[in-house]
């Protein structure tokens, strides 16, 4: 018994130390269902999605399944700043529901993922789903912290659209909708897909996206699902969103998948730009362009990007197509730092036009 306490103490100590390394992480409880395998699989992805931000310290617990004894299930909601519900089982006892409602009333945050019953009205079994398909989402509220800065139209892959959500409650805001096409057993109406609710002193964010599906699970690997969940979680916990909208948020041009959930970082991007060739994805190059725009006016940040670009020009293993893309970008944003690397490519036959293009433009202000 003593030993058990000691290990628990050590675990708590380690968690505390680990937590203190991360600045102000949001203490988060992820409650999963255990009634189905996909519930567990989806909880693992949700955990990865929240972890990716570095903002949340997660504890995961499984609620008893349908028909199981609930008497021992008493989550200590007030210990957490955020409760994430990815639960697909039966109704909880009244006292747990009351505790959760009280928690939100007192300023707690809740995220509801792809609920099986209406998370707003609490009325079960009046929800239906469309067939799985790709569809366009419209961001209908653009001044809410969760959706500020998102594209007004974006595509989402392989998901079901939920019908029957009652969004009439007080302080409920439908942030994004999708037309549920009757061709896919849809309702023929625009249905909510992202919903925010201010409740008492707290906040509830509901995503109706991300219905898990084997084997690809595209709906949960959609960059739009991932990013709106990350933003919704931060908002529910804090009332604000500090995360930037990433370059790969989907647009009207099509869906965007993140097979490994992760956002693109500097090292990954530059490693991949150097091996670009037709017809590979251009996403790492568009990442670079987005970073240049973001760094506008910040010469230190711009020089860091320029150095990465010059490294590709000087890299014997980098492809001709990669160097072409880099030369085009340097032609307008480059500084004196780039000039030797550009000049050094003057003799490369395949790059003749591209080097001339860059040199002609850069000389304008040099």
Q: Which residues bind another protein (CB under 8 A)?
A: 138, 142, 151-153, 155, 223, 247-254, 256, 278-283, 286, 289-290, 292-297, 324, 328, 331-333, 353-354, 356-357, 360-362, 364-365
* Residue 257 β-bridge partners: 222
* In the complex, minimum distance from the CB of residue 281 to another protein, in angstroms, rounded to a whole number: 5
Which residue, 121 or 290, has its beta carbon nearer to another protein?
Answer: 290
* In the complex, minimum distance from the CB of residue 148 to another protein, in angstroms, rounded to a whole number: 12
Which residue, 68 or 181, has its beta carbon nearer to another protein?
Answer: 181
Is the Cβ–Cβ distance between 32 and 60 less than 8 Å? Answer: yes
Which residue, 116 or 138, has its beta carbon nearer to another protein?
Answer: 138
Which residue, 212 or 224, has its beta carbon nearer to another protein?
Answer: 224
- Do the bridges between strand 162-163 and strand 128-129 make them parallel or antiparallel, or are there none, so unpaired? antiparallel
H-state helical runs in 22-115: 37-53, 94-105
**Per-residue b or e along 35-64, where b marks 16 or more CB atoms closer than 10 Å to that residue's CB:** beebbbebbebbbebbebbebbbbebebbb
* In the complex, minimum distance from the CB of residue 248 to another protein, in angstroms, rounded to a whole number: 4
* In the complex, minimum distance from the CB of residue 305 to another protein, in angstroms, rounded to a whole number: 12
Taking CA 313 as the corner, what is the angle to CA 307 and CA 317, rounded to the nearest 5 degrees? 120
* In the complex, minimum distance from the CB of residue 295 to another protein, in angstroms, rounded to a whole number: 7
Which residue, 184 or 357, has its beta carbon nearer to another protein?
Answer: 357
* In the complex, minimum distance from the CB of residue 315 to another protein, in angstroms, rounded to a whole number: 22
- Do the bridges between strand 172-179 and strand 153-159 make them parallel or antiparallel, or are there none, so unpaired? unpaired
DSSP helix/strand/coil, 128: strand
Which residue, 72 or 279, has its beta carbon nearer to another protein?
Answer: 279
Which residue, 74 or 352, has its beta carbon nearer to another protein?
Answer: 352
* In the complex, minimum distance from the CB of residue 293 to another protein, in angstroms, rounded to a whole number: 3
Per-residue tokens: 206: 């509901």
Q: Mind giving me the DSSP string for 302-360?
A: HHHHHHHHHHHHH-TTS-HHHHHHHHHHHHHH--GGGHHHHHTTTT-GGGHHHHHHHHH
């Amino acid at each position: 018994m003593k030993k058990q306490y000691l290990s628990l103490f050590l675990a708590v100590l380690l968690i505390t130390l680990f937590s203190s390394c991360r600045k102000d992480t949001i203490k988060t409880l992820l409650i999963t269902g255990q009634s189905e395998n996909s519930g567990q699989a989806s909880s693992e992805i949700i955990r990865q999605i929240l972890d990716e931000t570095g903002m949340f310290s997660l504890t995961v617990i499984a609620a008893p399944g349908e028909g199981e004894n609930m008497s021992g299930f008493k989550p200590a909601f007030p210990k957490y700043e955020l409760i994430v519900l990815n639960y697909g089982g039966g109704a909880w006892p009244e006292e747990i529901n009351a505790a959760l409602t009280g928690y939100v009333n007192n300023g707690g945050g809740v995220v509801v993922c792809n609920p099986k019953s209406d998370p707003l009205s609490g009325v079960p079994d009046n929800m239906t789903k469309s067939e799985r398909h790709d569809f366009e989402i419209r961001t209908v509220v653009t001044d809410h912290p969760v959706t500020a800065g998102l594209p007004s139209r974006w595509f989402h892959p392989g998901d079901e659209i939920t019908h029957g959500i009652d969004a009439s409650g007080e302080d409920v805001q439908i942030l994004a909708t999708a037309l549920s096409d009757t061709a896919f057993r849809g309702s023929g109406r625009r249905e909510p897909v992202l919903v925010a609710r201010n409740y008492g002193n707290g906040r509830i964010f509901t995503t109706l996206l991300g219905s898990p599906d084997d084997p690809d699970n595209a709906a949960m690997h959609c960059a739009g699902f991932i990013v709106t969940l990350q933003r919704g979680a931060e908002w529910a916990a804090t009332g604000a969103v500090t995360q930037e909208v990433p370059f790969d948020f989907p647009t009207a041009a099509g869906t965007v998948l993140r097979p490994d959930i992760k956002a693109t970082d500097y090292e990954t991007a530059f490693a991949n730009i150097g091996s670009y060739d037709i017809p590979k994805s251009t996403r790492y190059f568009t990442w670079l362009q987005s970073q240049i725009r973001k760094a506008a006016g910040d010469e230190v940040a711009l020089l860091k990007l320029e150095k990465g670009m010059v490294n590709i020009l000087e890299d014997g293993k980098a492809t001709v197509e990669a160097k072409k893309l880099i030369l085009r970008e340097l032609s307008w944003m480059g500084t004196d730092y780039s000039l030797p690397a550009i000049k050094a490519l003057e003799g490369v036959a395949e790059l003749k036009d591209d080097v001339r293009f860059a040199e002609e433009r850069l000389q304008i202000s040099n």
